[in-house]
Amino acid sequence: MQTWGQGTGNVATIREYMTYLRVEKGMRPATCEAYQRDLEQFAEHIEKHNGVLASASQDDVSSFMQGLRANGVESRSIARKLSALRGFYRWLLMDKKITHDPTVNVESPASWKVLPKSLAESEMTEMLDRTGAAAKVADADGLALRDHAILELLYAGGLRVAEICSLHVEDLNLDSGQALVRGKGDKERIVPLGRTAIEALERYLKLGRPELVTAGMQRALFLSVRGKPLTRQWVWEMVRSASPTGTKASPHKLRHSCATHMVEHGADLRSVQTLLGHADIATTQVYTHLALGRLKQVHRMHHPRGKRLLQVAE
């Protein structure tokens, strides 16, 4: 196997590969330049540890990609760079300059599952306590009652913003603590509601909504100051304005906060799938590592061989 010196050897190898792409593969100059930039970026990454391209490992490739991801590079761009590396190492393998392709078992960014961002429980409590206090004053208006009810419902049931906007009054069954929700593809599901969400909705229906209803029948549960159904954009803006200091909450983030906090407290993924209305359990599996963390904790606490050794002072 040929070996090259660090730095200058990497430059020579990349130059030789560019000649191969232009002459033998007939690639356009712009494409070759993009590949060259990607390879030079990877070479710079491994040269920090005195590495050379011909002896790069799978760990080198993985750490390079994770570094790009940590710096906010989009998955599509990372996938392109990985494709450039794969073509490069196939060429080295074909030319018998290496005996192992370090990119073979590297996972493509297309298959990465990113856990959606959520608020901490303390941040959710702060938000709901603040809007709840405004809704509970004696002279609370219909808007304060409505906004607090929406936030409680988003967090309690993990509803999508479109599902909030499409709810009708008759979809609520507060006596049994549940709501009929129409999700994607008009699929219906029953969402259970907690005590605080039920109380907020009862107060809104009794004192807030009548204030917002104008002439004519209006089935929509949540109404604007003009008595019209709320738009998704309006709900987004309301949630953003209610965000705790230093956070950028959104209806989507509240939905994921609901799921995250349930899993952290021991809920199984099938139950969370049903609550959120995911058609495929694979969509819910982004929360798997939270469930595993809970499982490890339970194992340490309850398995006779799982408990940590305690140092007892004599």
- Partners of 223 in beta bridges: 229
What's the pLDDT tens digit per position in 209-233? 999 998 677 899 999 999 999 999 9
The answer to whether the predicted template modeling score (pTM) of the entire model surpasses 0.85 is no
- Catalytic residues, by residue number, are 160, 184, 252, 255, 278, 287
> How confident is the model over 62-90, as a mean pLDDT?
88
Lowest mean pLDDT segment, chosen from 19-33, 240-254, 299-313: 299-313
For 158-207, what is each residue's pLDDT tens digit? 999 999 999 999 999 999 999 999 988 788 999 999 999 999 999 999 99
Between 298 and 9, residue with greater pLDDT: 9
pLDDT of residue 310: 40
**Backbone conformation region of residue 277, classed left if phi is above 0, alpha if psi is from -120 to 50, else beta:** left
Q: Considering the chain, what percentage of its residues have pLDDT values greater than 70? A: 87
**Mean pLDDT score across all residues of the chain:** 86
How far apart, in Å, do the first and last CA atoms of the chain sit?
Answer: 62
**61 confidence band (pLDDT: 50, 70, 90):** very high
Q: What is the pLDDT of residue 168?
A: 96
Contact 3, 52 (CB under 8 A): yes
Residues in the chain: 314
Enumerate domains of the chain plus CATH numbers. 8-111 (1.10.150.130), 121-252 (1.10.443.10)
220 three-state secondary structure? strand
